[in-house]
Amino acid sequence: MKRFIPTVIFVILIIVGFFWIKSCYTSEGGPTTTTDEQTEFSPRKDQGIQQYNLEVKKRQSTERAPCDTLNIVGYVLNNYPPGSYLVNFDKTLTYNVPNPAVIYYNNSGKKYIFGIVARSKPGERLIEPKNIVGYDQSFIDLDSTELGTAFFYLTLFQCDNGEISVVWEAPIPNHGGLNWFHMYKWAYRGTPYIRVEFHYAMGKGHLDYNYFMINGLTSPPHLLMTYKGINFKRTMANINNDQFPDYYEFIYYDNGKEIVESDSVAFLWDNKDSLYVNTRNKRQTRPY
């Protein structure tokens, strides 16, 4: 009987230890959180999980290159404030794997990478990348404090001999619903620009943030916002033939039965005051 009791205690300790170890790891084998400290409120735990996941992806990757996407992810993880992430595009299909939001660009023999980085608002819970990308996530402004508030930045990285550095960051005035971004050339002057599109489910449309490289690639860009939805539209235009893009704001009439596009108003960029100005009412201005 005396031998039996220590044996039972030993077995119990083994079982308890097994479940404790299991609770400290995710299904992928990485560290997770305990109930007394949730990841979204613990920058230290979040940093550990992100670092672990990154190392797993590096081991699983069969093709690597200097300043590749995994290196960009690692740079953001190690050099940005806690709760910062290189985000992904929205899924193009229901079950496909989303691609990282990066564009590689060579200019004058130098390698650059455009990327979209999201940062968590200090003092709030950390954001989760899955909660800020996609159509449904464009509703996040209605409950952003519940899921954390994301601040997006269009960022230009430079790759020099395998070393990554930040050339500039441009804030994107939106908090959720990222869809995609592409590089274009303005038809009127050939100026390159990046268009970042966000879903806007509340208006059944999309919001576009157009970043023009007015003074070259390495200078901070000029922002023009355009959009289109069920009862709103703003389109890019060349009105006064200067280097800055202008736009037309469309006016809609809703009679309860139908929504009709009735008029449009031109806005011109005033470089002195750094504002877009209504050509019919000078007192009405817009920052972008």
Binned at pLDDT 50, 70 and 90, residue 279 comes out as very high
Rounded Cα–Cα distance for residues 1 and 44 (Å):
48
159 in any annotated domain: no
Binned at pLDDT 50, 70 and 90, residue 40 comes out as confident
Tokens coding 284? 């009405």
DSSP state of 26: -
36 in any annotated domain: yes
15 in any annotated domain: yes
Crossing angle between the packed helical segments 69-79 and 43-60, to the nearest 10 degrees: 160
12 in any annotated domain: yes
230 in any annotated domain: no
Query: Which helix (H) or strand (E) element contains residue 241?
Result: none
Can you give the pLDDT at residue 81? 94
112 in any annotated domain: no
9 in any annotated domain: yes
30 in any annotated domain: yes
Write out pLDDT tens, residues 53-101.
999 999 998 889 999 999 999 999 999 999 999 999 998 766 677 899 9
Q: In the chain, how many domains are there?
A: 1
Write out pLDDT tens, residues 97-145.
789 999 999 988 899 999 999 999 998 899 999 999 999 899 876 765 6
Can you give the pLDDT at residue 266? 98
Q: In angstroms, how far is the first alpha carbon of the chain from the final one?
A: 82
Rounded Cα–Cα distance for residues 11 and 21 (Å):
16
Contact yes or no for 113/100 (Cβ under 8 A)? no
pTM (2 d.p.)? 0.84
Contact yes or no for 288/196 (Cβ under 8 A)? no
- Domain around 8: 1-48
